[in-house]
Chain A
């Protein structure tokens, strides 16, 4: 068994390696100017923060949040049964169904963006909430299914059978056996699905009907104005990091 203290510090170093470089975004958000060779910004200021808390940005935040929550909820509701069927390997041709369901993840979204806009226009759904939700859903649903399916399988089925033979009702089985068994992967799938909708730019602009959405507001600034982009990024990341914490916690402790 390797030295525990070495292991512990390796873990801390890893976490730092992944987390620290992003901390620079916080500094950049408050830096009016930060040019080489300065290690610390030459001037601090609130120009970025003011933009990030303007009416438009906050509207975008609210809209994006509502859309992302709706889309994720639908994706989990629709995706859970599909993931279950795929994960429990009852199909004769699981590969074919998997590839069809995973297709939106395999085809670059940049390729089908215009095609999706055109299709939603033909269906008269463009610029409506339904159209926007569908456009997001078609990316989030495959993600949720593909991640969630690995949670299901013989191990879960055996536990459920044991519960059934012990006389638990289907609801009780679901609450006390199935849900805890798949909780970590379910949390990861929900979190990742939420992120896809939260960060979706292409279809949000094309069929959003001009609604303020956070990625649409943020992207134009990313290369042209790092301070405003960093400040908007902080606004963008806040709920995402909160969701990350929840998902990380669900992977460890029982429900």
Chain B
């Protein structure tokens, strides 16, 4: 009895402490941090950044990107006296959750996340909650020199204005893969895809939304045909799909394995170099080739953002600037390295343009032409489309 009372007391004290601490769960007083950025001088930023260690939380499942960051980016950053620490995550949401927890705990400075590789809904919802540092990306020297900020694919992220809260890094295009040894005449439009599925039932599928890739496929269909006609198309497609559309892969990785094992004839990804990567990893046969379906590929840009409470804001800005360095961007665009199209505006490159010419070496696993890029949807249309898919197609 005494002991139970002790137990209850411990519980009550803990509850009281927690609730008291919880009371301070309010938004920070102002969006602008006290230090770096207030004086606007890049030199001052460089001075402040010297000696800092920047923690960059980014997807860690691609060894080539990892070594590009660990070797090339880190070396470039070291020239400014900044150390780079890459924190691998499985999903960008993991990084956002840490920032959210810091916000709930009332931690308005000295945060544990300095930079996040982010875009789309993660960025949009963070922006709504005021999680990101404001009005800094347009002040970067490399951004002013080489980035075309009137390009809507740069200045809006899923149609949400970037507002200087994130700095561009990579471009992505939604492409498909097929096996040249099995399919000699791949479909190049959605209607041709439907015809192919009818002629070869069970040989096509896509990941179930809300998986990122599956969701993007649904958006491509809706972008091409409109929402109701698009869903009519998906319904028409369903009975000719793998397993008659009764079950879908839950991730792009699963679809890739199915494609590699010959269970289906196509794969897809929101990564223009995914065929290159798949062959490198041995998941795809060497006869795999990238494919464009439709007039143009659904495109987006991914960025790096700085949480408003980051501990090393100056170092983070220097990192974002370094990522826009033409030398590093050219290396990234090199088909033998990563093969990602650059976010820089070629017309502004001037003397540095030749570095990008070597990036047109031929690589059969990379598409040269993405057609007329299809702009992404508004971030708040994404979830309703996914919900509609679950209602109309899955069940």
Contact = CB atoms under 8 A, between A and B. Distances in A.
A93 interface: yes
A206 B1 CA distance: 39
Nearest to B256: A224
A114 B70 CA distance: 28
B97 A117 contact: yes
Given A121-B102, A216-B88, A217-B60, A210 B107 contact: no
Contact of A121 (B4, B101, B254): B101
A88 interface: no
A176 B144 CA distance: 76
Contacts of B100: 114
A224 B64 CA distance: 13
Given A210-B85, A223-B253, A36 B101 contact: no
A220 interface: yes
Given A32-B282, A225-B61, A118 B112 contact: no
Interface in A92-124: 92-93, 96-97, 100, 113-114, 117-119, 121-122
Interface residues of A, number: 41
Interface string B261-300: 1110000000000000000011101000000000000000
A47 to B, nearest CB: 8
A168 interface: no
Contact of A127 (B1, B4, B112): B112
Contacts of B101: 114, 117-118, 121, 206
B62 A225 contact: yes
A209 interface: yes
A233 interface: no
A210 B63 contact: no
Nearest to B24: A122
A118 B70 CA distance: 30
Contacts of B281: 33, 224-227
Contact of A224 (B112, B253, B282, B285): B253
B55 interface: yes
Contact of A35 (B89, B105, B283): B283
B112 A217 contact: no
A35 B260 contact: yes
A53 interface: no
Contacts, number: 96
Contact of A221 (B61, B85, B257): B61
Contacts of A91: 3
Given A36-B261, A114-B100, A210-B55, A220 B112 contact: no
B90 A220 contact: yes
A31 interface: yes
Contacts of B78: none
A122 B21 contact: yes
Contacts of B63: 51, 221, 225, 228
A51 B263 CA distance: 29
B198 interface: no
Contact of B90 (A33, A97, A219): A219
B104 interface: yes
A220 B283 contact: no
B116 to A, nearest CB: 13
Interface in B286-343: none
B95 to A, nearest CB: 9
Given A225-B61, A225-B63, A206 B282 contact: no
The 8 closest A-B pairs by CB, nearest first: A33-B282, A220-B61, A121-B105, A36-B261, A223-B253, A220-B60, A117-B101, A224-B61
18 contacts: A31-B282, A33-B282, A33-B285, A34-B282, A35-B260, A35-B262, A35-B283, A36-B263, A37-B262, A96-B4, A97-B7, A114-B97, A114-B101, A118-B101, A122-B21, A205-B89, A206-B94, A216-B88
Interface of B: 1, 3-4, 7, 18, 21, 55, 59-63, 70, 85, 87-90, 94, 97-98, 100-102, 104-107, 112, 251, 253-254, 257, 260-263, 281-283, 285
Interface of A: 31-37, 42-43, 51, 56, 91-93, 96-97, 100, 113-114, 117-119, 121-122, 126-127, 205-206, 209-210, 216-217, 219-221, 223-228
Given A35-B260, A96-B4, A96-B7, 19 more contacts: A35-B283, A91-B3, A113-B97, A118-B102, A119-B105, A121-B102, A122-B106, A127-B112, A206-B97, A206-B98, A209-B112, A210-B87, A216-B60, A220-B59, A220-B61, A220-B88, A224-B61, A224-B281, A225-B61
